[in-house]
């Protein structure tokens, strides 16, 4: 089954404790992306990657890191989380956003930083 998986699905942590949210897709997609969704602000792109070893900043990259060492995985790293990073995070993948008409979203990770 074609899917994007994220782990963990829910996480409560404390300020400053490094964490990683994993994202994996099984569709051999080139393009992967991370978003955060906050009430009243919609979905905002954090980072995206056109292919292995190629990553670019989206609209809200501050406080986040990513890596793309393999095509299927695109982890999101918060080196020193802060309360303003409390949000719902989605990972997504597609061939390319405009070449294909489907971007597959993961189920979301709800992160709370105390």
Partner 1 sequence: EDKVVQSPLSLVVHEGDTVTLNCSYEVTNFRSLLWYKQEKKAPTFLFMLTSSGIEKKSGRLSSILDKKELFSILNITATQTGDSAVYLCAVVSIEGGSEKLVFGKGTKLTVNP
Taking CB under 8 A as the rule, does residue 19 contact partner 1?
no
Q: Is residue 33 within the footprint of partner 1 (CB under 8 A)?
A: yes
Q: How many CB atoms lie within 10 A of CB 45?
A: 16
Q: Does 79 bind partner 1 (CB under 8 A)?
A: no
By the rule CB under 8 A, 103 interacts with partner 1: yes
Stretch that binds partner 1, among 7-15, 16-24, 48-56, 64-72 (CB under 8 A): 48-56
- Strands (DSSP E) contained in 8-114 are 10-13, 19-25, 31-38, 42-51, 54-57, 65-66, 76-78, 87-94, 104-105, 109-113
Cβ closer to partner 1: 3 or 80? 3
Question: Two tokens at 100?
Answer: 């294909």
Which lies closer to partner 1 via its Cβ, residue 59 or residue 79? 59
Torsion angles phi and psi, residue 111, rounded to 5:
-110, 130
The piece of 12-20, 62-70, 78-86, 89-97 that touches partner 1 (CB under 8 A) is 89-97
Q: Is position 107 an interface residue for partner 1 (rule: CB under 8 A)?
A: yes
Cα 66 from Cα 54, distance rounded (Å): 10
């Amino acid at each position: 089954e074609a899917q994007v998986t994220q782990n963990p699905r829910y996480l409560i942590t404390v300020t400053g404790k490094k964490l990683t949210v994993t994202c994996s897709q099984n569709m051999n997609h080139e393009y992967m992306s991370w978003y955060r969704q906050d009430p009243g602000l919609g979905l905002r792109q954090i980072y995206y990657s056109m292919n292995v070893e190629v990553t670019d900043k989206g609209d809200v990259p501050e406080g986040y890191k990513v890596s793309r060492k393999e095509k299927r995985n695109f982890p999101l790293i918060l080196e020193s989380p802060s309360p303003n990073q409390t949000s719902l995070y989605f990972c997504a993948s597609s061939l390319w956003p405009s070449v294909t008409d489907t971007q597959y979203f993961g189920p979301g990770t709800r992160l709370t930083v105390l």
